[in-house]
Each structure stands twice: as C-alpha cells, then as structure tokens.
Amino acid sequence: MDKKSNTGGLHRRPLLAWPVRVYRFYRDGFREMTVGRSLWALILIKLAILFLVFKLFFFPDVLSRDYDTDEARADAVRQSLLDDSR
C-alpha cells in the first residue's frame, strides 16, 4: 500500500528552492515588460537628480568650508564627539 502525503498530491520543493523561484519570477516579469522599462528608467533618473540636489543644497561640506587643514578638521570632529554639553 502506498502512503500518500498530506500535500494534496503536490510535490514539496526544498526550502532553498524558494529564492530561485522568486528570482525567476522577477526576472521573467522584467523581461516581459514594455512600458515598465521606460517607467523604471524615469524613476531611476529622478532619484539620481533628487539625491544630487540634496547633496548640493542640503548637505554642504561644512568641515572643508570652516577648516583649512585635515588636522584642524580631525580636531573639530574629535572635539564634537567628546563634547559632554550636548
């Protein structure tokens, strides 16, 4: 007499096979895209521009602006890290 599994006739795949199936799912999905490719390209271009603007305008290089040498910059960072008044 054959023992049947409780999976309803479905074969169980090993646990390590699911990452491969997920990868193949996305790979095949991106291959079949037509409009989606141009939309993804547009999203990536917008993100690059956004981060470039943030870097230029919102995160200025304060240390190079306020201190002339690397030693002075290092000392300022060290003092800021060791300052207990914060």
pLDDT in tens, 23-41: 999 889 888 888 888 898 9
Domain ranges of the chain: 17-82
Q: CA-CA distance, 81 to 61, in Å (whole number)?
A: 18
Residue 50 predicted with pLDDT over 90: yes
pLDDT reading at 8 higher than 60: no
pTM for this predicted structure: 0.45
> How much is the average pLDDT of 72-84?
91
For residue 33, the SS3 value is: coil
Taking 70 as the threshold, does the pLDDT of residue 68 lie above it?
yes
The confidence score (pLDDT) of residue 43 equals 94
Check pLDDT > 90 for residue 51: yes
